[in-house]
């Protein structure tokens, strides 16, 4: 069944979506896989980030929820983390700014003393059918948000990560099968996948694992806030499974990569694409 045609202003909010995405609020059951770990999640207020925050908290982790300006969504996620019996630290601000990335880590360390898991998930995209419509500023902002922010966060977090820690980047099926309407976004997601592969080799001797998850079309606020309504209505129809994925359907991959069950997984990229292949 198609979702209704709809549109929001960037960055979009989960509360305004129809239907509201399933982030595992009523379904995810933890089993102690991340007991007493400290996880930083960018874009943790909604969509995939919220699903990961819920799963991590129910697996026993304290969670830092980084987000731009969607206060009500972030408060909802923090409440769900607290209901799981874990601490939530909520940090708003623009991760395209290097100083803010460093501040996220500094606040995490002041509150919890370390970083065990870093999930670089927040991203910006906008749909354009003509490259002439992509301004210099939008191109720079897309790379600053999607790629440079991960660089700043990793550099800031590494001094506070111990052997056994994990870094996870959110890439995309677009890194291998780029949509022409999302050219800047697709280019950044290929860069994230490549950066994760480099870091896995660089940080392996320190006992720090680096992996990425490549989502396909997932129903998050990014979709109605960056695509025209007719595209939103058809979103996910062209996958082999014939529908968009829900954020909750990615949570298990992020848990695996953060947990000791993934202790020999580094340099991997997990595809959660509804059947679309990645290279």
Residues designated as active site: 185
* Whether the Cβ atoms of residue 77 and residue 54 lie closer than 8 Å to each other: yes
Q: How many CB atoms lie within 10 A of CB 81?
A: 26
Q: Shortest CA distance to 124 belongs to which of 190, 193, 222?
A: 222
The whole-angstrom separation of Cα 195 and Cα 102 is: 19
Query: What does the chain come to in residues?
Result: 279
Quick one: which of 186, 82, 197, 76 has its CA closest to 139?
186
Q: What is the 3-state secondary structure (H, E, C) of 169-216?
A: EECCHHHCCCCHHHHHHHHHHHHHHHHHHHHHHHHHHHCCEEEEEEEC
């Amino acid at each position: 069944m198609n979702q209704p045609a709809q549109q929001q202003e960037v960055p979009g909010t989960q509360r305004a979506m129809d239907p509201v995405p399933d982030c595992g609020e009523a379904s995810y059951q933890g089993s102690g896989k991340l007991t007493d770990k400290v996880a930083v999640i960018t874009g943790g207020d909604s969509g995939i980030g919220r699903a990961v925050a819920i799963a991590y908290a129910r697996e026993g982790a304290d969670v830092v929820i980084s987000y731009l300006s969607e206060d009500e969504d972030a408060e909802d996620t923090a409440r769900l983390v607290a209901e799981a019996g874990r601490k939530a630290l909520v940090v708003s601000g623009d991760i395209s700014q290097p100083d803010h990335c460093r501040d996220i880590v500094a606040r995490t360390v002041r509150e919890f003393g370390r970083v065990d898991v870093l999930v670089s998930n927040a991203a910006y995209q906008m749909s354009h059918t003509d490259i002439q419509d992509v301004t210099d500023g939008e191109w720079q902002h897309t790379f600053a948000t999607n790629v440079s922010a991960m660089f700043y966060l990793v550099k800031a977090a590494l001094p506070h990560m111990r052997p056994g820690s994990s870094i996870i980047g959110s890439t995309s099926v677009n890194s291998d099968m780029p949509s022409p309407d999302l050219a800047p976004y697709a280019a950044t997601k290929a860069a994230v996948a490549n950066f994760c592969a480099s870091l896995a080799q660089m940080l392996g001797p320190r006992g720090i694992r680096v992996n990425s998850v490549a989502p396909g079309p997932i129903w998050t606020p990014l979709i109605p806030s960056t695509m025209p309504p007719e595209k939103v209505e058809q979103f996910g129809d062209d996958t082999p499974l014939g529908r968009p994925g829900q954020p909750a359907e990615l949570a298990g991959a992020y848990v695996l990569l953060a947990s000791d069950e993934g202790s020999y997984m580094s340099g991997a990229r997990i595809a959660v694409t509804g059947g679309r292949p990645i290279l």
